[in-house]
Amino acid sequence: MDNSTSGSTLIIERTFDAPRQLVWDVWTKPEHCMKWWGARVVTCPVAKIDFRVGGKYHLCMNCPMPDGSVVEVWSTGYYKEINPIEKIVCTDSFADAEGNIVSGEHYGVEDFPMEVEVVIQFDDLGGKTRMILHHHSLPDSMKSDCEVGWNESFDKMSELLDSLK
């Protein structure tokens, strides 16, 4: 199976009441990313971003479990295309704490591709920003969970943007 083209594409469109440059900054600067990355109950204690074509990112999500424990889930990818304040194309993979790509099974996730592609487009709406995210090659079984996770992340992003204006 070709992981780069199999599976579903999740598309999420959000409009933020913030200028495009600021929305771009919260995607590309680690100090901002740490404040919004991950679903509502998730924190992001580590965000390393080498924001250039060919550069890598490495992020950690601390996910609280019902038993009170916290599970670290790491991700990594590299930037394939960057059109400043307009578009980011990157890969996304599960990773370990050292930044090595690992299978989804490492975190108990079955049938997840080793690498997927994420495309984020930023459109200027005169002081507001429309952001459109395409998360490609998602297994149908994971699409709903990913949609919830992204939307909760973007809710946190909206709160961060409001605090930065």
Query: What are the domain boundaries of the chain?
Result: 8-164
pTM of the model: 0.93
SS3 labels along the chain:
CCCCCCCEEEEEEEEECCCHHHHHHHHHCHHHHHHHCCCCCCEEEEEEECCCCCCEEEEEEEEECCCCCEEEEEEEEEEEEEECCCEEEEEEEEECCCCCECCHHHHCCCCCCCCEEEEEEEEECCCCEEEEEEEEEECHHHHHHHHHHHHHHHHHHHHHHHHHC
* pLDDT per position as a tens digit, 98-145: 999 999 999 999 889 999 999 999 999 999 999 999 999 999 989 999
- What confidence tier does 23 reach under pLDDT thresholds 50, 70, 90? very high
- The number of beta carbons lying within 10 Å of the beta carbon of residue 92 is 19
Residue located via tokens 């971003």? 49
Specify the fold of 8-164. Answer: Alpha-D-Glucose-1,6-Bisphosphate; Chain A, domain 4 (3.30.530)
* pLDDT per position as a tens digit, 46-87: 999 999 999 999 999 999 999 999 999 999 999 999 999 999
Query: What would the mean pLDDT of 133-159 be, rounded to a whole number?
Result: 95
